[in-house]
Copies of this chain bind each other. A is one copy, B any other.
Amino acid sequence: MDPVNELQPLDGVVLQELKQLTDSRGAVLHMLRCDSELFSEFGEVYFSEVNPGAVKAWKRHTKMTQHIAVPVGKIRLVLYDDRENSPTRKELREYEVGRPSAYMLIRIPPGLWYGFENIGPSMALLANCADLPHDPAESESVASNEGPIKVQWLSES
């Protein structure tokens, strides 16, 4: 695999470092503002708690653009591109995302498969600020071991 291309995100994915304003009481953690170049429309903000060792995969949206951040703990985020005509079709990307060393916003456009697992010793929390409210009609899910591509999840190793 081309090591340079490996560093490029899948087409339409954006990663953006986020500020952590830390003091002795606890950090203030930025996520998304209306004047960000990544912001388009507000649909819904919600959280997904991930217990130690838990895997949440696979899912794909047909319309929703997600903006995710991990303000607690650390997850491994896996993205797989099976979009027709995408310049990164059949490519896979993995990111370790979370606190405190990799606190970032990740834009996931519609059409990408995604899944994540907790890779830390304690609970992790993923936040999603999406451009549409939840609608089961615009997403599909398959089991973590039956995804569009074989991934070795930590809890299976």
Interface residues of A (CB under 8 A from B): 24-35, 39, 41-51, 54-56, 71-72, 118, 123, 125, 127, 129, 133-134
Q: Which residue from B28, B54, B133 sits with its C-beta under 8 Å from A46?
A: B28
Question: Would you give the shortest CB distance from A101 to chain B, in whole angstroms?
Answer: 15
A118 to B24, CA, bound (A): 13
Measured in the bound complex, the distance between the Cα atoms of B44 and A42 in whole Å is 10
Given contact pairs A26-B54, A26-B123, A34-B133, a sample of 14 additional A-B residue pairs in the complex whose CB atoms are under 8 Å apart: A24-B54, A25-B51, A28-B48, A28-B49, A29-B48, A29-B49, A31-B44, A31-B45, A33-B43, A33-B133, A33-B134, A39-B42, A42-B42, A72-B72
